[in-house]
């Protein structure tokens, strides 16, 4: 299934080099002279994360693993070598045990080959501290913010230390919370990965279907927004405007997401949180899960400028 998807990505996006056998997606114009390379990756099933975010203004390369399975170090080393211009490479890693271990190993191997590597861990999920796949907070929607803003900084020619610092800051200023209305089904299992009876929802679900904070009877969009916003705002305590991502988990239509976005804006307004920009859509998904997540990121003028900078990828594009 992953190979089929990669062949489709290659057919539809000739601006990318898609190595189907070795599972690496690279900008066709990489490496770019005097530019820090950005590499990310993770299990497939979260599309457009990460392969859909390869291109000007975001990632230079991505490494897709099997469904919900970390890519392997060889993929990451190939990606780093393909995008390294001599200015170093930043690995952006979601906080899941397999991803962390494999990216750590890949960084050591890449450095043995003379590639300078820095790593940033994304751990923005405010729902739970530990889960089935990780120790500490899970990495979720803030990955998009980190890749976009750090990608803009790299495009401006910022050195590796600066790009790494910006990426860490974005992660620290971001929090997320997800809600599942149905379970997702992996190709290997052929059915739902967990039991969620009709008429119930999972509050704080992870992007692999990990358990959240609690399970309740179905709630209205108004009630879900109040619950999710309260958790995120209480954890983040924003004192400046925020970027807002209203993210679908894969099977929630845009019609419902915009209705939910209206409720999230209401809930944030009642808590005196100003929204600078909003992005609505399916960006960090969980196969065919019905549900949504919200991510907030506090921004100042510089971070907002980097967010607004042009981007041109399969999954995200605006500006020149």
Active-site annotation, residues:
46, 208
Strand partners, 118: 90
The three-state (H, E, C) secondary structure of 252-291, written as one string: CCHHHHHHHHHHHHHHHHHCCCCEEEEEEECCCCCCCECE
What are the beta bridge partners of residue 292?
Answer: 179, 248
Question: What DSSP state is assigned to residue 52?
Answer: G
Give the C-alpha separation, 50 to 8, whole Å. Answer: 15
* Partners of 280 in the β-ladder: 246
The C-alpha atoms of residue 225 and residue 184 are separated, in whole angstroms, by 22
Q: Measuring CA to CA, which residue among 18, 35, 259, 57 is closest to residue 158?
A: 35
Report H helices in the chain.
2-12, 73-83, 97-112, 142-155, 160-172, 221-236, 254-270, 301-308
164: three-class secondary structure by DSSP: helix
CA dist list (Å): 24 to 59, 81, 202, 315: 12, 11, 34, 17
The tokens for 273 are: 């949180």
Q: Are 120 and 168 in contact (CB under 8 A)?
A: yes
Tokens encoding 12: 């539809």
Q: Which two tokens stand for residue 125?
A: 């999920």
């Amino acid at each position: 299934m992953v190979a089929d998807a990669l062949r489709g990505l290659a057919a539809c996006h000739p601006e990318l080099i898609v190595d189907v056998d070795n599972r690496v997606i690279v900008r066709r114009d990489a490496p770019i002279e005097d530019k820090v390379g950005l590499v990310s990756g993770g299990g497939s099933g979260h599309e457009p994360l990460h392969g859909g975010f390869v291109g000007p203004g975001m990632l230079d390369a991505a490494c897709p693993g099997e469904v919900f399975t970390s890519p392997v170090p060889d993929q990451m080393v190939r990606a780093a070598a393909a995008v390294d211009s001599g200015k170093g490479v930043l690995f952006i890693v979601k906080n899941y045990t397999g991803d962390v271990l494999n990216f750590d190993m890949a960084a050591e191997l890449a450095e043995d080959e003379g590639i300078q590597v820095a790593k940033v861990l994304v751990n923005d999920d405010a729902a739970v501290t530990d889960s089935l796949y990780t120790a500490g907070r899970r990495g979720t929607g803030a990955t998009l913010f980190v890749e976009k803003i750090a990608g803009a900084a790299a495009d401006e020619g910022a050195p590796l230390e600066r790009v790494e610092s910006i990426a860490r800051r974005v992660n620290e200023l971001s929090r997320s919370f997800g809600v599942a209305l149905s379970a997702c089904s992996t190709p290997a299992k052929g059915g739902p990965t967990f039991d969620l009876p009709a008429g119930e929802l999972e509050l704080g679900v992870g992007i692999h279907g990990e358990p959240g904070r609690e399970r309740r009877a179905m709630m209205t969009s108004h009630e879900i927004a109040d619950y999710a916003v309260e958790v995120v705002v209480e954890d983040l305590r924003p004192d400046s405007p925020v970027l807002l991502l209203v993210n679908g988990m894969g099977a929630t239509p845009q019609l419902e997401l915009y209705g939910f976005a209206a409720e999230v804006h209401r809930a944030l307004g009642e808590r005196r949180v100003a929204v600078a920009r909003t992005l609505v859509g399916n960006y960090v998904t969980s196969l065919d899960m019905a549900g949504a997540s919200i991510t907030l990121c506090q921004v100042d003028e510089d971070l907002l400028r980097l967010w607004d900078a042009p981007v041109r990828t399969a999954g995200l594009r605006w500006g020149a």
